[in-house]
Chain A
Amino acid sequence: MSLMQEMNERALELGVPLGVHLDVTYRCNERCVHCYLDHDDHGELTTVEIKDILQQLAEAGTFFLTLSGGEVLMRRDFFEILEHARDLKFNVRIKTNGVMIRKSEARRMRDLGVEQVQVSIYSRRPEIHDAITKLPGSLKRSIEAIRLLKSQGLKVAIANVLMTVNMGEHAGVQALAQELGVVYTLDPTITPKIDGDTSILNLRIPGSELKAVFHNKDLVGNVEEFCAPPPKPGEDVMEGYPCSAGHTAAYITPYGDVFPCVQFPLPSGNVRRQKFMYIWRNSPELNEVRSIRAKDLPVCSTCSHVGTCTRCPGLAYLEGSMRGPSTADCEKSFQRTGILSANMLRKAHAHSHGPLIQIQPFAA
């Protein structure tokens, strides 16, 4: 077990929120077609409130802090927040589109000892990237930001969300990352909007493309291993919990709402009304999330993929039940291995019986 895994285990045992993702704003200078946020300001946390939350998180034992948005630099006080976070000795990662990063911002992030800066790139072709962000010139500025950050010695990662509108562009973005000497990450996950609107889900890439991605050695490494059929799940799998959300990780919105994860918008409390640690320990919602084991999942516990599936309880929650399957992950498991999920089999079975209620048109 690596030292990091050991720390995670210990945090889990002690009930410590080791990693917290804080969105400092939902405002943004881009209007990405797949974005799940409402960009208006509905009363963001003030600088003083954020500093107080950071203090509380430090006392709670949080070590990994992700500052994200919206676009973090839309807040004029962003560097004040960042400086406070670093004074409190958090390991800070920043997610940004990079458009507002110039030399002085890059230098300041370096001086402040930021661990990593993640910049979103959708294509290396401006006509595609800029059409997604709806901000002319954004690709050029984002790439320039990556260069500036790199030249300051910062660790940078390119995050490449893959969807129908940039399908086939990932090889170019991966090559760009290599040229720039930065880490490349690919994510085919499109999330419903935070208000539950699912219209953006039609941007999800089709199964055939997902399959091609999962069988591309440049992206996954050892294809045989990555796409291997799942081993029979043992008792440890059934007793396991799905992910860190609510166990060692939490998410805080720009309005102070606490969720188990950025992709799991289950309202669990608000730091404007209660102390973070009170919410973390006592929220019935977080305690419910923590109580769920794989054996408690009605469909997934019967699925051969249960031990290897990337099932996101947040996406399952957005589909109606945090104990249910996440169809996006069913699709991933299927395209990866060629083996149908329990959820797919269940649906196929239901359809094979025909509609439950049939209406015979009345023939006069």
Chain B
Amino acid sequence: MSEKYIARSSQIAARMLGGEMMVMSSVDSTFFTLNEVATVIWQAADGHTPLAEIVARNVCDEFEVDIDIARRDAEQFVNELSHHGILLVSDCPFDISPGPVEAA
């Protein structure tokens, strides 16, 4: 299986509320709340760290969950958020623009 890299889209709004992350896409206004584990993956989504490494290091080590279960859940989570354009996915490392740019 090839590596997967994930990054947060710049077209979202996000805020922690009582230990959960609220995320809303400004493209289609879909609204999600991420639980603690999902929030950890979200925060680590820098476009450079492979998803497998995020799961192993930030999820399994921190939350003591089985790696296969964690991987499966993470894949599902990434698929759903990428479907709404909230997470961007690539099979090679990539940069998200630091902020929106003014095109001429």
Binding site for B on A (CB under 8 A): 3-4, 6-7, 10-11, 13-14, 16, 18, 58, 61-63, 83, 86-87, 89-92, 104, 107-108, 111-115, 153, 155
CA distance A183 to B21 in the complex (A): 28
Q: Check A86–B15 contact: CB distance below 8 A.
A: no
Q: Check B17–A89 contact: CB distance below 8 A.
A: no
Q: A10-B18, A63-B15 are in contact. Are A83 and B33 (CB under 8 A)?
A: no
Cβ of A153: which chain B residues have Cβ within 8 Å of it?
Answer: 27
CB distance from A182 to the nearest CB of B (A): 14
Binding site for A on B (CB under 8 A): 10-18, 22, 24, 26-27, 29, 31-33, 99-103
Q: Check B101–A111 contact: CB distance below 8 A.
A: yes
Q: Check B99–A91 contact: CB distance below 8 A.
A: no
Cβ of A61: which chain B residues have Cβ within 8 Å of it?
Answer: 15-17
CA distance A7 to B15 in the complex (A): 11
CB distance from A81 to the nearest CB of B (A): 13
Q: Check B24–A83 contact: CB distance below 8 A.
A: no
CA distance A83 to B101 in the complex (A): 10
Q: Check A92–B13 contact: CB distance below 8 A.
A: yes
CA distance A18 to B15 in the complex (A): 10
Chain B residue with Cβ nearest A14: B18
Option from A3, A7, A87, A91 in Cβ contact (under 8 Å) with B26: A91
CA distance A198 to B11 in the complex (A): 42
Option from B11, B18, B101, B102 in Cβ contact (under 8 Å) with A113: B11
Q: Check B99–A89 contact: CB distance below 8 A.
A: no
Q: Check A63–B103 contact: CB distance below 8 A.
A: no
CA distance A67 to B26 in the complex (A): 16
Additional pairs, 6, CB under 8 Å, beyond known A3-B32, A18-B17: A3-B33, A14-B17, A63-B15, A91-B26, A113-B26, A115-B24
Q: Check B12–A89 contact: CB distance below 8 A.
A: yes
CB distance from A11 to the nearest CB of B (A): 6
Cβ of B17: which chain A residues have Cβ within 8 Å of it?
Answer: 7, 10-11, 14, 16, 18, 61, 63
CB distance from B48 to the nearest CB of A (A): 20
Cβ of B13: which chain A residues have Cβ within 8 Å of it?
Answer: 63, 89-92, 113, 115
Q: Check A155–B11 contact: CB distance below 8 A.
A: no
6 contacts between A and B (CB under 8 A): A3-B31, A3-B33, A7-B17, A83-B99, A89-B12, A113-B13
Residue in B11, B99, B100, B101 with the greatest tally of chain A CB atoms within 10 Å:
B100
Cβ of B10: which chain A residues have Cβ within 8 Å of it?
Answer: 86, 113
CB distance from B14 to the nearest CB of A (A): 5
Chain B residue with Cβ nearest A83: B99
CB distance from B25 to the nearest CB of A (A): 9
CA distance A18 to B64 in the complex (A): 33
Q: Check B26–A114 contact: CB distance below 8 A.
A: yes
